[in-house]
Each structure stands twice: as C-alpha cells, then as structure tokens.
Amino acid sequence: MKKQKGIGKVFIVFMALIIGAVGGFYGLTWLTLPKTEDVQVGEEIFFSKGDENLDATIDVSNADISIHFLELGNKYTGDCTYIKAGDVDILIDCGSKSNSVSTISAYLENYVTDGILEYVIVTHAHQDHYAGFATSEKIDGIFDLFECETIIDFAGTANGKTETALYKNYQTKLNKAVENGATHFTALDCVEEKNGASSSFDLGANITLNILDSYYYKNPDKSNENNNSVCCMFTQKVSETESNNFLFTGDLEREGEEYLCSMNELPKVDLYKAGHHGSRTSSSKQFIDVIQPKTVCVCCCAGSSEYTSVPENQFPTQEFITNVGVWTDEVYVTTLCVDYKNNEFTSFNGNIVYLSNKESYNVVCSNNNTKLKDSQWFADSGRVWPTAT
C-alpha cells in the first residue's frame, strides 16, 4: 500500500509539472502576442511569412542608396519602404497591419545597426500605411522599437478619421516619440518651410530628400484619404545637370497627380513606387507620361480579393499596366495572393531591393527577379502588356 501511495504522489507531481509547463508555454505565448482587438483591425494572421528568404540580407554596401520594398508577412496589401543612404536610414510607411511590425522590424534590424531611423515618413492615415505606427499601448510599434529623429506626416485627414481608435493610437505614439526627442513636421510645414521645417533634406553623398508640394496638404480631401498622401522624391546628383530620381506618391489618386504635375517640376524618374498599389485610379496616363519611369515597384498582394472580387480591378490593374508598360517592362511586385479566403499567399518577387550608384543600378529580389510581364500570374490573369512607345 505504502509503495502504491508513493507511486501515486510521483504521478501527481509529474502531471502537475507537465500541466504547469504546457500552461506556462501557452500563457507566455498568449501574453507576448499582440492582441488584435487592441487595435480593432479585424482578423489578423500572426507571424506568417510567404517567403523563407524574407529575412535574408542583401549586401547594400556597394550602393550609394538602396531602396527596399518590403513584404509584410501576411496576405494584406500595404506599403512599407526602407531606404538606406550611407548611414542615413529612412522608413516610408509601415503597413499593412499592426502584426506586420514583427516582420518589418526583423528586416530593419539587419540594416539599421544603430537603432536610429533618421527620417520617418507617414504618407496617410490608412491602416495599410500607418498601422505599424498606430499600435496600441500594449503593442510596440516602429516609434517604440526605433529612435526616430525626424517624423514627417500627412497634413490632414478625411472626415471622421480623428475619432477612430487607430488614429488615436497613432497620435499617442507620435506624441510619445516627440517627448522622447523626435522632431515632427507635417508635409505642409515642409513645403511652407515653417515651424523649423524644410522641403529639402540633405542626406549626404549628393542625395537629397525633397517633400513635393500637393494641393491636398492645404486643402485636405475630406472624402478620399488617399489624396492626403505625403509625396516625396529622392534625388541622387550625378553631375551639375543630371540626377537619378526616385518618386513616392503614397496612394495619391488621379486628381492629386494632376496637381502634383502642376505644382512641381517633375523630372523623368528612375524609380517609381506604383501609386496606390497599382490601382486603376492612380498612375494616370497624363502623370506617367510626365515621369516616364524606368523601374516600377508595386507593393501589393497581386490578384487578391481583399478590396474587390472583380478580377480586373484587383492590383495590379490593366489600366496601371497599360500606362506604365509603354515606358518600361521593369515592373516588380512584392506579394502574390494564392487563395485569399484560405489565407494563402506567397512571394511574387518578394522583398524588392533597388540599388543605385551614380552611373548604374541593380534590382535584387528575395524570391526571384521575374518581371511582371513574364510572370505566371500575368499570363493567368489575362492582363495585356502594351507596345512600347
């Protein structure tokens, strides 16, 4: 009897240890995961990745400037562009969801070795661009994870935006970053050169960040948030008369592009981040014929039904392809939707890295370097490539 009691005690202790270990593991996992409901962003997938090469670093040491269009670790379309110009690190947007922060920060840590982002640009108050800055108190966002020196954001928002939980989170995090020493300018401050701001920031090595003028900085679009996008151009001076130009317009729509053309002297550009993820309502012919891009990068989950079930309107659209395709076939796309309903996605080109020196450039992608027009998705989608001009 005694012996049996002893075995029983050992068994109980053993089971308690097992339950404790398993419970502790799940408890810890639960505690460390960001809580979706905290930021009210609906369903989210945590820490999933489409491409095992996403964390692989690309040697950028031989480039004067490298521009990285990031995959976001989930099936959702969104923007996040990291730019390295010498020791100056810049981040434009941090979408697509708050849980993208883990994928993005892991990537940035490979390059931002001092933990300082000298410039952060937040184009507009849509989740797929600013969720990574608008995290709740309980979730570390980019402003928490990196020391941000100069933050440039949108001058205005659409009706009702400031009442949303995400926007309030953004303001809280932004204020905290400013308390911690960050300098904050709106795009309007920059173009009007007020509150100590400038429209032009010297990054060294003949590279300049220019905040372009846009009608909607002063006259916020109250119905279409996309038009409130901060637009900027990086220029790399090649000679007294020549420069390489890299253009970012956020999700600016056709009418905003018209103003952009009339309010700025836009040059031909070497690199263009496809406006509004390759939507049919941006990258208008009139605008594209002015900038005549040589390379175009599309940040989207190609062929996804996230925004529309109509295949023709899914990113990247035929209208976008028709307008940019006459100028270049060097069009790259970050992510590919496999089955939206079943949360299946994979890399298209993956993380796209554009490396530029004065006289030459190179594009290196984490998955493959297949151009959009040569891809299987393009063939299957029925999209048509236009003839070059």
CB of 239 to Zn ion, least distance (A): 36
Q: Among 51, 64, 118, 251, which residue sits at the site for Zn ion (rule: CB under 5 A)?
A: 251
**Quick one: tokens of 98?**
């708050």
Residue 308 in tokens: 């529309």
Asked whether the beta carbons of 280 and 320 are under 8 A apart, the reply is: yes
The piece of 123-131, 176-184, 281-289, 363-371 that touches Zn ion (CB under 5 A) is 123-131
- Cβ–Cβ under 8 Å, residues 363 and 295: yes
Residue span binding Zn ion (CB under 5 A) among the ranges 131-139, 156-164, 249-257, 336-344 = 249-257
What's the DSSP call for residue 60? -
Please tell me the distance from the alpha carbon of residue 228 to that of residue 349, in angstroms, as a whole number. Answer: 29
Q: Which two tokens stand for residue 174?
A: 């932004």
**Near Zn ion in 170-209, by CB under 5 A:** none
What separation in angstroms does the CA of 375 have from each of 215, 254, 302, 311, 381?
37, 27, 11, 17, 10
**Could you tell me the smallest distance in angstroms from the CB atom of residue 180 to Zn ion?**
28
Q: In angstroms, rounded to a whole number, what is the distance separating the alpha carbons of residues 223 and 227?
A: 9
We find the least distance from the C-beta atom of residue 69 to Zn ion, in angstroms, to be 13
Q: Considering beta carbons, is residue 229 or 243 the nearer one to Zn ion? A: 229
53 vs 318: CA distance, rounded Å:
29
To Zn ion, the closest distance from the beta carbon of 230 in angstroms equals: 13
Burial of 30 (0-12, 13-18, 19+ CB in 10 A): exposed
Please, what is the minimum distance in Å from the beta carbon of residue 209 to Zn ion?
21
In the complex with Zn ion, which residue's Cβ is closer, 313 or 357?
313
Nearest distance from C-beta of residue 301 to Zn ion, angstroms: 11
Q: What does 276-317 look like in DSSP terms, one character per residue?
A: GGG-TTSS-HHHHHHH--SEEEEEEEET--SS-S-GGGSSSP
Closer residue to Zn ion (CB): 260 or 355: 260
Burial of residue 45, with CB atoms counted within 10 A of its CB: 0-12 exposed, 13-18 middle, 19 or more buried: middle
The region of 124-132, 166-174, 231-239, 266-274 touching Zn ion under the rule CB under 5 A is 124-132
DSSP state letter for 245:
E
Beta bridge partners of 91: 82, 120
List CB contacts of 205: < 8 A, sequence separation 6 or more: 64, 65, 85, 86
Q: Among 44, 89, 118, 128, which residue sits at the site for Zn ion (rule: CB under 5 A)? A: 128
Please choose, out of 24-32, 67-75, 246-254, 329-337, the segment that lies near Zn ion by the rule CB under 5 A: 246-254
Q: Which is nearer to Zn ion, 128 or 253 (CB)?
A: 128
Instruction: Pick between residue 84 and residue 277 the one whose CB is nearest to Zn ion.
Output: 277
Going by the DSSP 8-state scheme, the letter that residue 162 receives in this structure is: G
Task: Kindly state the smallest distance separating residue 96's Cβ from Zn ion, in Å.
Answer: 8
Site track 72-101 with Zn ion (rule: CB under 5 A), x = hit: ------------------------------
Query: Using CB under 5 A, which of the segments 162-170, 243-251, 316-324, 350-358 binds Zn ion?
Result: 243-251
Q: Kindly tell me which of 281 and 323 has the beta carbon lying closer to Zn ion.
A: 281
List the beta bridge partners of residue 233.
Answer: 210, 247
Cβ closer to Zn ion: 76 or 327? 76
Min CB(254)–Zn ion separation in Å: 15
CB of 280 to Zn ion, least distance (A): 14
Please say which residue, 128 or 189, places its beta carbon nearer to Zn ion.
128
Q: Which stretch binds Zn ion (CB under 5 A): 100-108, 127-135, 190-198, 375-383?
A: 127-135
Q: Which is nearer to Zn ion, 221 or 251 (CB)?
A: 251
Where does this chain bind Zn ion (CB under 5 A)?
A: 128, 251
